[in-house]
Copies of this chain bind each other. A is one copy, B any other.
């Protein structure tokens, strides 16, 4: 049986200390107005007895409503960023009776200006706590610093920054996920095969998630002495110019006839899959990241073999929960929380998607 199962109440502590419940309350909440002598006595009793407040009663009595704010990239239905939002909603419903409101703000993920603009709105809203997707690292760190100055706790999800002011982070270890992807990709690969590594053009100042994934990916081959066993072919793909992408890919396949596998580090490997389909190229094992609608479809029609996922919904959910645990329940929060690196195939993705993680 887990031990913290005692049922001592504030009033019990008061009796033990020979004071009233109000005094104990003042000590618990550090509201002063208590003589040092009694204060210490009460504190030591609380310590010895492992007092745990009844959070049920506490939140019933506490009339304050906590105003949370989230700051995420805006996106269309079926796209990646809907997932964390779903988790946020789930957390809110679950915490409905604890008086928590969440104001959702959105920025354009391709435009740092918009992030800054919405940051201002967020500060104006005077929230009690915030959840941020720090796509623009510097700008996010600056925001977090301002929040910290106002004593407003904040969590990051998806990617991290290096500031020291955030309360907690929930996201994947990008480097390690690249490493894991490499293992999947290499599994069963014949020596001499060519590996197509599709890079994405980076927007200045954005998070370097995809780069870290690629680093981890290459590190696998280096660490296992495989750099000469295979040939790596790099290609840069643009986010919008699909026709241009296709031309580049066709060029590459003209030159290289031993491409057996390819990987792409952002959430749009389905675009590459589409190009290969048009070119009637099969038997190229594709690996990609995240469960965007296009990716899921590509996995199901077997044009993509593996997707690496990072439980984005959980990130949103746990981010909000961390804020609740911190503010409402006064619990200690683990600062860096790496999500599992989930490996998805056509055969297991349905169970992954349908799983509701209360």
Residues of A within 8 A of B (CB): 1-2, 4-5, 52, 54-57, 59-60, 89, 92-93, 96-98, 102, 173, 176-177, 179-180, 182-184, 187-189, 220, 285, 305, 314, 318, 321, 334, 337-348, 351-352, 354-358
Alpha-carbon gap, A1 to B69, bound state (A): 12
Nearest neighbor of A338 in chain B, beta-carbon distance: B351
Q: Are B358 and A184 in contact, CB atoms less than 8 angstroms apart?
A: no
**A183–B183 alpha-carbon span in the complex (Å):** 16
Contact partner of A2 (CB less than 8 A), chosen from B93, B176, B321, is B93
Cα(A223)–Cα(B343), bound, Å: 23
Q: Which B residues touch A347, using CB under 8 A?
A: 176, 179-180, 182-183, 220, 341
Decide: A4 near B55, CB < 8 A? Known: A340-B348, A340-B351: no
Q: Which residues of B contact A305 (CB under 8 A)?
A: 187
What B residues does A357 contact at CB under 8 A?
314, 357
In the complex the two chains form, what is the Cα distance from A102 to B346 in whole Å? 39
Residues of chain B lying within 8 A (CB to CB) of residue A334? 356
Query: Which residues of chain B have C-beta atoms less than 8 A from A2's C-beta?
Result: 89, 92-93
Given contacts A92-B2, A351-B176, contact A56 B345 (CB under 8 A): no
For A55, the closest partner residue in chain B by CB is: B97
Measured between alpha carbons, how far is A342 from B180 in the docked complex, in Å?
A: 14
Chain A contact residues: over half helix, strand or loop, or mixed? mixed
Copies of this chain, how many? Answer: 2
Task: Report the minimum CB–CB distance from A310 to chain B (whole Å).
Answer: 10
The answer to whether A351 touches B358, judged by C-beta atoms less than 8 angstroms apart, is: no
Q: Which of A102, A182, A355, A356 has the most CB of B within 10 A?
A: A355
Whether A96 pairs with B187 at a CB distance below 8 angstroms is: no
> Of B60, B285, B352, which one neighbours A60 at CB under 8 angstroms?
B60
Residues of B within 8 Å of A285, CB to CB, are 187
User: How many angstroms from the CA of A321 to the CA of B94 in the assembled complex?
Assistant: 13
Verify B183–A345 contact, CB threshold 8 A.
Answer: yes
Give bound CA distance, A358 to B87, whole Å. 13
Taking the closest CB of chain B, its distance from the CB of A44, in whole angstroms, is 23
Q: How far is the CA of A96 from the CA of B55 in the complex (A)?
A: 10
Interface pairs A-B: 10 shortest CB-CB? A188-B188, A180-B347, A341-B348, A343-B343, A56-B97, A340-B352, A180-B348, A340-B351, A340-B355, A2-B93
The answer to whether A342 and B342 have CB atoms under 8 Å apart is: yes
A23 to B343: give the CA distance in the assembly, Å. 55
| Residues on the B chain within 8 Å of A180, using CB | 345, 347-348
Contacts of A183 in B (CB 8 A): 345-347
20 A-B residue pairs with CB within 8 Å: A1-B92, A2-B89, A2-B92, A4-B96, A54-B97, A56-B60, A57-B97, A60-B60, A183-B345, A183-B346, A183-B347, A187-B188, A187-B305, A188-B188, A318-B358, A340-B355, A341-B347, A341-B351, A342-B348, A343-B345
A342 to B349, CA, bound (A): 10
Provide the bound-state CA to CA distance between A38 and B220, in Å.
Answer: 72
Contact A184:B57 (CB < 8 A) given known A5-B96, A351-B176, A354-B338: no
- A96 — which chain B residues lie within 8 A by C-beta? 4-5, 52
Specify the chain B residue showing the minimal Cβ separation from A188: B188
Min CB–CB distance A3 → chain B (angstroms): 9
